[in-house]
Structures are given as C-alpha cells and as structure tokens.
Chain A
Amino acid sequence: MDNAAIAMRGLTKKFNGFTAVDSMDLTIDKGELFGLLGPNGAGKSTIIKMLTTMLVPSAGTASVWGHDVASDRDAVRSSIGVVFQDPSVDSMLTGRENLDFHGRMYGLDRSTRQKRIEEVLDLVDLKDKADVKIEDYSGGMQRRLEIARGLMHHPKVLFLDEPTLGLDAQTRRYIWKYVRKMNEDEGVTVVLTTHYMDEADYLCHRVAIIDNGKIIALDTPENLKDMIGADTITLEAQSGEDALLKFLSKMEWILTREVSDGVITLGVDHAESRLPQIMLDACQNNVVIRSVSVHEPTLEDVFLKFTGRKIRAAEAANQARMFAMWRKRK
C-alpha cells in the first residue's frame, strides 16, 4: 500500500517567464501534519493551487491520494478540502447554509449533511452561531467556519493556506488547537502554508522551508533546529567568576565558551537539561550568579542559515520583485 498522500516530481509553475515553483520534489505521508514555511511570494500558495487543481503545472507531475492533479482533476477534487487564504464564504448565507451548500456540492445526502454539520460546528465551537449570517461573523469565526467547511465531506487531505493570517494571538491559538484536533481525531492529512515560524514549529510534524520556489530544508522542526547546533546560555556572575570558569572548564558538554566584561556565553547541546547542573555547581562553589538567559534556535535561525537573510527581509525583496514585474506588465 502506497503511503504517500501527496507526491510531487519536478513540479514547476512559470508565469510569463517568472518561475514561481522550480522543479519541486516532495512526498507527504498519509496522516501527516505538514507545513510549507517561507516568506510571502516564495511560491507556497502556487504549490497549493496546483495541488488543488486551481492552476495547471507548467512542468512535472503531482498526485494527491494517487490521483494526478492535471489529468484526474475530479478525483483529486473529491479527495481534498481547501481552506483558502482569502475569505471564500457567501456572506449573505448563514453558517449552516454555507455548510449545507458545500455538502450538496460534494454529493452528501440530507441526513449525512445534517449529522456532519453538527459534528464540524461542534469541532470549531460555532454551534450557537450556526444560523447567523456570515456578514455578522468576526474574522476569527469566519475562519473557523471555513475550516469546518473544509472538513465537511471527510476529505483525505486538507489544505490550509495561511490559516491564521491577520488573526489576533488568542484566535491563532484556537485555530491551532482545532487543526491539531482534526489531524488527530479525524485522521486527516493536513498540508498548511505559513510564514509564521512559531506556527510551523508548534503545529507541524515536518516542515519544508521554501524560498524562491525551491525547498531549501526539509525535516521535523526539532531536527531543523538541531542543524543550527548549539543553544546558548548567557551567565553573569556577581562574585566568584574565577571559580565559575574553573568548574565550567571541566564540563565536557560545553561546546564553546566566551567571556567578555564579566558576561559568559556558553554553547551547549540542550540548554534546558544542562542549566540545572550549572546552577547546582555554582551554589556548591559559592558563586553568586546575577542573571541567566537561554536562547534556543528557532526556525527563523534555520531560514537565516540557509538563505543568509531574515524572513522579513526576504518578504520585502519578494514584494519589490513582484512590483517590478507588475509594472513591466502594465
């Protein structure tokens, strides 16, 4: 039994000579919660559009649940649910009517629809708002309804394009909770795009970091961060600095050691598990420590390492490039 939910081989999309997605190879397993992480304009949404049959690939192939996205579109469409980056609900209809319409379009009969509407509304805590028109929903509620709708017809794969874009911190937390829950409870394979590092880190089993239409790194968030190597611990001693340095030099797991103006910076493998021992030894050697800070690598550091720039800077560059293209076209 083939375990791939999605397989891309040399997938490419060009727009007027500009390559948005550059011969991408990627396999996403069934049941995975997979993240495409990258700055705006990196090509994530274009990948999603090809996988959801909204755009035809310029070259290469992609299959979703075994169905080719170019030649077997209806089969692909029946196996997927999509939550688009921009709103895609009918604001004149109520939440329930939107879900009902969706169910009809996917060929669910009346009793299945009624049962399923209750289930998905329950999943996103929108039962009490079911009969309110969407125009009276808040942004977060609308997003939750769209996620519920994406799940209505029991898709094999659910695509979420920037699911928390423009939402406040609390609503983002809720959305994360729902995404996790449906991946676990409903067993649906989830592919999401995001340009939020923390989102990819928190949610995804595996992350592909995308820049300029290419995968620049692919692994679990933990392994990606481990590639950066050391966590750093920064210590400042109030007294007994010499004793501190002396016992620190005996600790073999310390990878790097720097001292400047009484501030000691240590590179270690796992800061959380090493810190208690340092503190314990400091106490036993009568060293008084004034302050401690720990910095763990983030996916932002991973992006920086592979591209040499921060994700914000990459976004600014992408925007400038698109603006230039847009002006050329005019």
Chain B
Amino acid sequence: MKLDLYAVYSIWLREMIRFFRLRSRMVGSLGAPFFFLAFLGIGFGSAGSSVSAIPGIPEGINYISYLTPGIIGMTLLFSSTFAGLSVLWDREFGFLKEIMVAPVSRIAIVLGRTAGGVTTAIMQSMIILISGLAMGMKLPSIEGFLLSFVFMVLIAATFIGMGLAFASKMTDMSGFSLIMNFLIFPLFFISGAIYPIERFPQEARVLVYIDPLTYGVDGLRYSLIGPGANTLPILLDLGVLALICILMLGLGTYLFEASEVE
C-alpha cells in the first residue's frame, strides 16, 4: 500500500490550523487537567515539603512532582481520545467525504490524524508541565525530558486509535457521554495518576494492569521525576505501552477502513 507522506502532512496541517484557530477550545480542554493539578496539589501536598499526605509515594518526592506526570497522562488521554473521536464531527459536517474520495490511502488518513492529534496533545501537556513546575515540581533532567516525549507519543497514539475505533463504530454523537463517563474517567482514575496503584485492593489490580495509561503514567514518572519514582520496571512500561499502541492504532485503522461514509 502506498504511504502518501504528502497527504499525511496535509491532514496534519489542517489539524494545526484548526487547533490554533479554535483557541477557546484549547483553553477549555486544558481547564479540567489544570484544576485537577492545582486543587489536588494544594489539598494533598504541602508546598516546599517533601512529606506528602498520601502514603505509598516514594521517599523524597513531593506530591506536586508526583502528580504532574499523572495529570499530563490525563491531558494526553482526554485530548487524544477526542482527536480520535473527531472523525465523528467530520462525518457530521460532511468533510470526511472530501477526504475519502481523494486518491489517498486510508492509512495515510489515519496517520495524518494521528500526527495532528499527537502534536496537539503534546502541546497541551507542555502547558501542564510548565504549570506543574510553577507549582513546585522539580525540574526534570534533560535525558528524562527527552524520554518523556517517547511516552507522550505512545500514550497519545494509543488513545487516538481507541477514539478512532469508537468513532468508526458509532453512527452519531449519542454514545459520547457514555464513553466519557464510563471509559475515559475510569481509565484516568485507575491508572495511578493521582495516587500509587498499590492503594488499589488486590482484586481491582487486574483492571489497573489492563489500563494502558497505567504504563504511560509510570513511564512519565520515571522520565520526569527520575529513576525510583516508577512502580513498574521502565522497560516493561515501554514494551507494554508500545505493544498496546500498535494494537490500538491497528484496530482504529481497520475499523476506520471498514466503516462506510454514510
């Protein structure tokens, strides 16, 4: 199959134009993670203190440092799922047809969307990272900062694939709040983004390990805070997340290809 890089770039460019044109949407979607960061940070951590109110957080790490990678995970989760689901909007407003009759492979369309979604999700994550630093998070190392990009790309691509899979199976927007409340929020809460996964009872642990975001948040902690902040081995995080990412993108592409435009 032909991989049309120029088409990938065009679709990415469109996403960028839309992202910067719809500033209110960008600010709006950052509201929730920002307030989670600010208010959980105030409530459970004490500024300047390395002792946190939540047991199980590794020694010497203040809560805001611990929380910020989790909230970055949240930002990536929400932003990317929306990016995947935005195919629904394109179908609703007819633009999907314009893309579908173009002499461009379906894979190029998916890759273009993914590239656009990943870029916007990472830009939003950077704003959350800066907010976290302003609230007292310790500066990450250069290598850690670079490594965090690998995790951010993987997390974003995973959930874009998931959103795309759902969008291909849905005929309208009616299932949207179901996905929001019964999938996205649980994925966020059980990922260990707010408190360590050891706090979950043993019986619920299997759900924790099914959640791709668990590995993503753990990897982000390793990258942004430093070795020792992670719960699972870093190579396990990387391997499992990469695998799930490929599966999700594959599923999304497959279902998107199979879906009829009308």
Contact = CB atoms under 8 A, between A and B. Distances in A.
Interface residues of A, number: 28
Interface in A38-75: 49, 52-55, 74-75
Contact of A52 (B14, B101, B262): B101
B95 A78 contact: no
B22 A92 contact: yes
B102 A106 contact: yes
Interface residues of B, number: 27
Q: Is the interface of B mostly helix, strand, loop or mixed?
A: helix
Contact of A88 (B2, B7, B97): B97
Interface in A84-124: 84, 86-93, 97, 101-102, 104-107
A55 B262 CA distance: 9
Contacts of B104: 105
Contacts of A89: 94-95, 98
A302 interface: no
- Which of B17, B93, B98, B260 gathers the greatest number of chain A CB atoms within 10 Å? B98
Contacts of B9: 104
A104 B103 contact: no
| Interface-central residue, A80, A82, A149, by most chain B CB under 10 Å | A82
Nearest to A79: B103
B82 to A, nearest CB: 15
Interface string B15-37: 00110011000000000000000
B154 to A, nearest CB: 28
A74 B7 CA distance: 14
Contact of B94 (A55, A86, A105): A86
A77 interface: yes
A92 B98 contact: no
A74 B103 contact: yes
Interface string B222-262: 00000000000000000000000000000000000000111
12 contacts: A54-B262, A77-B101, A78-B103, A80-B101, A88-B96, A90-B14, A90-B18, A92-B17, A93-B17, A104-B6, A104-B10, A149-B98
Interface of B: 2, 6-7, 9-10, 13-14, 17-18, 21-22, 93-105, 260-262
